[in-house]
A = this chain, B = another copy of it.
Amino acid sequence: MKNRILKNEVTGIIRGAIAEDLGGFGDITSKYLFPDDLDSSCHIVCKEAGGAILSGLDIALFVFEEIDAGIKMERLKNDGDSLRSTEKICNISGAASSILKAERTCLNFIQHMSGIATLTSRFVKIASPYNIKIVDTRKTKPLLRKIEKYAVLCGGGYNHRFGLFDGILIKDNHIAAAGGVSRAVESIREKIPHTLKIEVEVKNPEELDEAINSKADIIMLDNMGPEEIKAAVKSVREERGAATKIEVSGNVTLRNLEAICTTGIDLISVGAITHSAPAIDFSLEFE
C-alpha cells in the first residue's frame, strides 16, 4: 500500500498556494503572450544527483487540475520512489498558458516535500538495520504540518503525534507542576482518551526510574549521549525488565546517528527532517 494523499485533504493548501502566486491580475506575462489555443507538452524532471526520494507528485497533479481541468498528466513515478538523476517523474500536456500558470506552485510543493522525504530517507537508511524507527516532531513549518508529515512517510520515516491534541508528552514543567513524575502520569492517565499512550521525557536516571515506576508507556531520553542512553536502556530492559518503548530525542545528526543506533532503543525523533531539509531541485521542461 503506497503513501497517498487525497485531494480533499489538501484543497485548502492548494487553493491558497495558487492564489498567492496569481494575486489580482493573474499571470500577466503568459496571458498576453500566448494565444488561447496554443497547446504544449512538457515533463517534470529531477535535477539532483541520484537518490532523491519523490514526495508531492499527487499534489502537483491537483494543482494542474485546479487551474485547468483540461490538462492531461501521465504519472511516471510515485510518491516514495527513489529517483535517478534527470529522471522524468511525469508528462503533462495542455494549454501552454495554464501550464505556465501552475508551474512554480507545483514545483514548490514537489521540491519542498521531496526535500523532506530525501533527508528522512538518509536517516532511515542508517537506522533501519538496527530496527529503529525515525520519527518526526512538531517542528514543522506553519500551515504545512500535514504535508510535511506525509513527506516523512514517503521517506520511510514514521509520524509522532500530529499536535498537542492527539498525544501526551509530559515534560519537566508538567512534572514540576504536578509534583513528581508519578503524580503527573496518574493524573493525566485518569483524564485523557484511553486510546492514547503516555510518553514521559526524562533527563537523568532518577526521572527514568520514576517514569518506569509510574508505568509510562513511552520513555523519551532527552539530549543524552550514547553512553547515557546505553545505561538507560540497560536500566529499563535488564534491571527493570520493562518493555517500555524508548525514544531518543535531541541533537541527533547524520554524523552521530549510528552511534545512537547501537544503544538498543526503539525510536529516534529528529526535528531536522522537517525544519531543515534543503529543497530537491525539479524542473518543468517543455518538449
A residues with a Cβ closer than 8 A to B are 1-2, 4, 6, 8-9, 13-18, 20-36, 38, 40, 66-68, 96, 100-101, 104-105, 107-109, 111-112, 115, 133, 135, 138-147, 149, 158-170, 173-174, 177-178, 184, 187-188, 191-197, 199, 218, 245, 247, 266-267, 271-272, 275-276, 278-279, 286
Expressed in whole angstroms, the minimum distance between the Cβ of A151 and any Cβ of chain B is 12
Distance A274 CA – B235 CA, assembled complex (angstroms): 45
What is the count of identical protomers in the complex?
6
The answer to whether A168 and B1 touch across the interface, beta carbons within 8 angstroms, is no
Distance A66 CA – B22 CA, assembled complex (angstroms): 22
The answer to whether A165 and B196 touch across the interface, beta carbons within 8 angstroms, is no
The answer to whether A34 and B177 touch across the interface, beta carbons within 8 angstroms, is yes
Q: Using A6-B67, A23-B166, A25-B166 as known contacts, list a sample of 5 further A-B pairs with CB atoms less than 8 Å apart, ordered by residue number in A.
A: A1-B34, A23-B162, A25-B162, A34-B174, A160-B194
Expressed in whole angstroms, the minimum distance between the Cβ of A1 and any Cβ of chain B is 6
The answer to whether B17 and A143 touch across the interface, beta carbons within 8 angstroms, is yes
The answer to whether B22 and A165 touch across the interface, beta carbons within 8 angstroms, is yes
Q: Which residues of the partner chain B approach A4 to less than 8 Å between Cβ atoms?
A: 31, 36
Q: Which residues of the partner chain B approach A23 to less than 8 Å between Cβ atoms?
A: 23-24, 162-166
Expressed in whole angstroms, the minimum distance between the Cβ of A189 and any Cβ of chain B is 10
Q: Which residues of the partner chain B approach A192 to less than 8 Å between Cβ atoms?
A: 28, 32, 159
Expressed in whole angstroms, the minimum distance between the Cβ of A19 and any Cβ of chain B is 9
The answer to whether A29 and B188 touch across the interface, beta carbons within 8 angstroms, is yes
Distance A68 CA – B22 CA, assembled complex (angstroms): 27
The answer to whether B21 and A163 touch across the interface, beta carbons within 8 angstroms, is yes
The answer to whether A24 and B141 touch across the interface, beta carbons within 8 angstroms, is no
Distance A173 CA – B68 CA, assembled complex (angstroms): 19
Q: Which of A15, A29, A40, A135 has the most chain B CB atoms closer than 10 A to its own CB?
A: A29
Distance A28 CA – B164 CA, assembled complex (angstroms): 6
The answer to whether A141 and B108 touch across the interface, beta carbons within 8 angstroms, is yes
Q: Which residue of chain B has the shortest Cβ distance to A9 in the bound complex?
A: B26
Expressed in whole angstroms, the minimum distance between the Cβ of A32 and any Cβ of chain B is 4
Expressed in whole angstroms, the minimum distance between the Cβ of A161 and any Cβ of chain B is 5
Within the complex, which residue of B27, B165, B184 is in contact with A24, where a contact is CB–CB below 8 Å?
Answer: B165
